[in-house]
C-alpha cells in the first residue's frame, strides 16, 4: 500500500471512513451489488469476455465490482482507493470470498499513482468521478489503462442531480478537507474517453440518480 497525501486524499479518508465502509460492506453482503453496479457488470460482460481478464477497479469501495468479476472468472484485480477504511473492507471481503490472493491493493489518489499502475483488460470507475475535482485527469488516466473496456457509473446530468450536489457542496464547503461532488457533462466525458481511443458501447440510466456508460477499444 502507498500512503495517500494531499487534500483529495484527506477528504477521502474523512468521508469514506471506517463506519461508512462497515455499513457498505454489510449492505453488499446482504443485498449484493447496487442496482447501477449490477447494470455496469452486465454491460461489461456483454462487451468483453471476463474469463481470465485483468481488472483495475479505481475507487473500488468495498470492492463489489471486482468481487463480482473475480467470481465470474476474471484472473486478477488491482484495487486503487484513496480511503484506507474502504481498502481494508474490500480486503476483508476478498478474504471471506477466498480470492484475496488475486487482488493487489493500492492506497492513494489514482491520478497520482497512475504511472505506476499497469494496464488492465477491464477498468471500472463505479460512482467515483462524482467525488473527484479533475474529471479529465482521472478519466483520461483510466482510459489510457483500459486495454479492452472502461465502465463508469456516475450521476445523471439532470437538474435534480445538480440541485442535490449544490446543496451537499454548500455544507461540505464549511468543513475542513471538504469533499465536493460534481455532475459532469456527457459530451466532455465522452470526449476525454474518445481521446483515449475508446468508443461508447453501452449507456443507460439506473434510477433517477445514476447512469452507466461502457466504452470499448
Ligand X SMILES: C[S@@+](CC[C@H](N)C(=O)[O-])C[C@H]1O[C@@H](n2cnc3c(N)ncnc32)[C@H](O)[C@@H]1O
Chain residues in the site for ligand X (CB under 6 A): 12, 16, 37, 58-61, 64, 80-83, 86, 109-111, 126-128, 131-132, 138
| CB of residue 9 to ligand X, shortest distance in Å | 8
| CB of residue 8 to ligand X, shortest distance in Å | 6
Dihedral of the alpha carbons of 81, 82, 83, 84, in degrees to the nearest 10: 80
d(CA 93, CA 156): 29
Distance from chain centroid for Cα 89: 15
| CB of residue 60 to ligand X, shortest distance in Å | 5
Q: Which is nearer to ligand X, 82 or 150 (CB)?
A: 82
> 111 and 137 in contact (C-beta within 8 Å)?
yes
d(CA 214, CA 43): 7
Residues 6+ positions from 109 with CB-CB distance below 8 Å: 4, 6, 8, 9, 12, 82
Q: Which is nearer to ligand X, 29 or 199 (CB)?
A: 29
| CB of residue 109 to ligand X, shortest distance in Å | 4
| CB of residue 216 to ligand X, shortest distance in Å | 20
Q: Which is nearer to ligand X, 179 or 198 (CB)?
A: 179
SS3 state at 120: strand
Q: Which is nearer to ligand X, 55 or 199 (CB)?
A: 55
Q: Which is nearer to ligand X, 154 or 199 (CB)?
A: 154
| CB of residue 40 to ligand X, shortest distance in Å | 9
d(CA 158, CA 156): 6
Q: Which is nearer to ligand X, 83 or 211 (CB)?
A: 83
Residues 6+ positions from 85 with CB-CB distance below 8 Å: 13, 16, 17, 18, 20, 21
Amino acid at each position: 500500500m502507498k500512503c495517500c497525501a494531499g487534500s483529495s486524499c484527506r477528504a477521502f479518508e474523512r468521508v469514506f471512513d471506517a463506519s461508512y465502509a462497515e455499513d457498505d460492506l454489510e449492505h453488499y453482503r446482504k443485498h449484493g451489488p447496487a442496482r447501477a453496479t449490477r447494470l455496469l457488470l452486465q454491460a461489461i460482460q456483454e462487451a468483453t469476455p471476463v474469463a481470465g481478464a485483468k481488472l483495475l477497479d479505481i475507487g473500488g469501495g468495498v470492492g463489489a465490482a471486482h468481487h463480482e468479476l473475480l467470481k465470474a472468472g476474471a484472473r486478477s484485480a488491482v484495487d486503487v482507493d484513496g480511503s484506507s477504511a474502504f481498502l481494508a473492507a474490500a480486503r476483508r471481503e476478498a478474504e471471506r470470498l477466498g480470492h484475496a490472493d488475486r487482488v493487489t491493493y493500492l492506497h492513494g489518489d489514482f491520478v497520482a499513482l497512475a504511472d505506476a499502475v499497469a494496464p488492465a483488460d477491464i477498468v471500472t470507475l463505479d460512482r467515483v468521478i462524482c467525488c473527484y475535482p479533475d474529471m479529465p485527469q482521472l478519466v483520461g488516466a483510466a482510459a489510457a489503462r483500459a486495454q479492452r473496456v472502461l465502465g463508469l457509473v456516475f450521476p445523471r446530468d439532470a437538474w435534480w442531480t445538480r440541485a442535490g450536489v449544490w446543496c451537499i457542496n454548500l455544507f461540505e464547503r464549511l468543513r475542513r478537507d471538504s469533499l465536493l461532488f460534481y455532475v459532469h457533462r456527457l459530451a466532455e466525458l465522452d470526449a476525454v474517453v474518445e481521446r483515449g481511443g475508446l468508443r461508447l458501447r453501452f449507456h443507460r440510466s439506473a434510477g433517477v440518480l445514476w447512469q452507466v456508460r461502457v466504452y470499448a477499444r
